[in-house]
């Protein structure tokens, strides 16, 4: 569902409103351009043929009136469609008629970090990273709080709606909504340091049932088998001996740090490093071997793991489903 020019392929009522404003402004501009360019071409061609100075016209009341009325009508039209768009994007239905954001009714909190997105569902307690699940429904809007843990980032899913900045010390709110099930590419769109370009995320719009199932499965501690393979078991021991738990959380274990992404259901995620590579065992090994080679500057250091430890860790992390 990722088209070549996502902004021109809106997939939510809000993105449709933005797209419609863009196309109307483009249409007005194109018509004005065609008229002006056309008149110039006519003047050039006539002047060339005659080779004499045309009749000079010093002031015309009629033209002045047309020049006044035309632009005024266009400006009023632009103001009207822009105001309509702003109202559509900011409309707060039902819960708060005064238009103020009721913070207790937040469906999703997305926090920008250098360089990944933390994704929290306060109502269910689900925490994940770089992958956002929402129910696909034209009427259902997800109330989203956008925050930052460090510098200014900007949350943007071109096919679903407006951009909104993630600003340290200040929370912003938007609606997230998708008309059709599908996956929608999101990007950080405010320069935020070395790996700004690799601060991607995906929004998965799924049916209501799928969404409920997803929430239920994410709420549980991971479905790790009771008996790990010897390799995975060594990996688990190594994970907790090494410094991994100082940055990551695995729900239901002593690993509870929140500096890096939550790893509770890591093996179910589709990408590693906020979109840098697909999440496969081979790529995971590449990532663990040297995250700095794949995403220079990221907060995960090169631990210079031995091949043995690498295999063990991959085996363990693959059990986090
Ligand atoms: Cu975060 Cu750019």
Q: What percent of the chain has a predicted confidence (pLDDT) above 70?
A: 92
pLDDT, mean over the chain? 87
Cα of 38 from ligand 1 centre, angstroms: 44
Closest CA to 176 of 147, 145, 142, 202: 142
Q: Are 16 and 8 in contact (CB under 8 A)?
A: no
Residue 153 Cβ < 6 Å to ligand 1: yes
* Alpha carbon distances (Å) from 278 to 8, 247, 272, 287, 307: 26, 22, 6, 11, 21
Residue 168 Cβ < 6 Å to ligand 1: no
Cα of 212 from ligand 1 centre, angstroms: 30
Cα angle for residues 23, 159, 122 (degrees, 5° grid)? 140
Q: Are 317 and 233 in contact (CB under 8 A)?
A: no
- Residue that is written with structure tokens 């309509």 in the block: 84
Predicted local distance difference test score (pLDDT) of residue 93: 47
- H or E element at residue 186: strand 182-188
pLDDT digits (tens, 9 = 90+) for 35-74: 999 999 998 888 777 777 777 778 888 889 998 999 999 9
Q: Tell me how long the chain is.
A: 321
Which of the four pLDDT bands, split at 50, 70 and 90, describes residue 25? very high
Q: Are 263 and 235 in contact (CB under 8 A)?
A: no
**Does the structure show a pLDDT above 60 at 98?**
no
Cα of 37 from ligand 1 centre, angstroms: 41
**Does the structure show a pLDDT above 70 at 92?**
no
CB atoms within 10 A of CB 234: 18
Cα of 308 from ligand 1 centre, angstroms: 35
| Interatomic CA distance for residues 272 and 283, integer angstroms | 8
- Using a cut of 0.85, tell me whether the model's pTM lies above it: no
| Interatomic CA distance for residues 288 and 277, integer angstroms | 12
Residue 190 Cβ < 6 Å to ligand 1: yes
Residue 146 Cβ < 6 Å to ligand 1: no
Cα of 277 from ligand 1 centre, angstroms: 18
Q: Are 305 and 321 in contact (CB under 8 A)?
A: no
Predicted local distance difference test score (pLDDT) of residue 193: 92
| Interatomic CA distance for residues 183 and 158, integer angstroms | 12
Report the number of secondary-structure helices (H) and strands (E) in the chain: 7, 12
Cα of 93 from ligand 1 centre, angstroms: 30
Peptide bond connecting 115 to the previous residue in cis, omega within 30 degrees of 0: yes
Residue 192 Cβ < 6 Å to ligand 1: yes
Residue 317 Cβ < 6 Å to ligand 1: no
Please tell me the least confidently modeled range out of 91-95, 175-179, 222-226. 91-95
Residue 166 Cβ < 6 Å to ligand 1: no
Cα of 113 from ligand 1 centre, angstroms: 8
Q: Which residues pair with 320 in a beta bridge?
A: none
Shortest-distance atom of ligand 1 to CA 152: 1
Residue 199 Cβ < 6 Å to ligand 1: yes
């Amino acid at each position: 569902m990722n088209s070549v020019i996502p902004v021109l392929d809106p997939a939510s009522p809000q993105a449709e409103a933005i797209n419609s404003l863009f196309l109307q402004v483009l249409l007005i501009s194109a018509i004005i351009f065609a008229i002006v360019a056309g008149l110039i071409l006519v003047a050039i061609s006539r002047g060339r043929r005659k080779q004499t100075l045309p009749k000079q016209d010093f002031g015309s009341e009629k033209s002045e009136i047309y020049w006044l009325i035309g632009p005024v009508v266009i400006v009023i039209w632009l103001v009207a469609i822009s105001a309509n768009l702003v109202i559509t994007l900011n409309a707060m239905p039902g819960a708060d008629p005064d238009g103020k954001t009721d913070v207790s009714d937040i469906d999703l909190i997305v926090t920008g970090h250098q360089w990944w997105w933390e994704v929290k569902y306060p109502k269910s307690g689900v925490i994940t990273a770089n992958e956002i699940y929402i129910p696909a429904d034209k009427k259902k809007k997800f109330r989203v709080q956008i925050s930052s843990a460090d510098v200014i980032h900007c949350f943007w899913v071109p096919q679903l709606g407006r951009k909104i900045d993630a600003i340290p010390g200040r929370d912003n709110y938007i609606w997230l909504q998708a008309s059709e099930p599908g996956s929608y590419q999101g990007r950080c769109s405010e320069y935020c340091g070395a790996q700004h370009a690799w601060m991607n995320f995906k929004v998965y719009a799924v049916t209501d049932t799928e969404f409920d199932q997803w929430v239920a499965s994410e709420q549980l501690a991971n479905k790790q088998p009771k008996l790990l393979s010897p390799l995975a078991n060594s990996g688990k021991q190594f994970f907790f001996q090494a410094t991994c738990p100082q940055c990551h959380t695995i729900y239901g274990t002593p690993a509870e740090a929140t500096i890096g992404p939550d790893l509770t259901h890591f093996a179910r995620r589709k990408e590693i490093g906020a979109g840098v590579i697909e999440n496969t065992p081979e790529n995971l090994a590449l990532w663990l071997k040297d995250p700095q080679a794949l995403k220079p500057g990221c907060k995960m250091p090169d631990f210079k793991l031995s091949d043995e430890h690498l295999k063990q860790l991959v085996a363990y992390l693959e059990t986090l489903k």
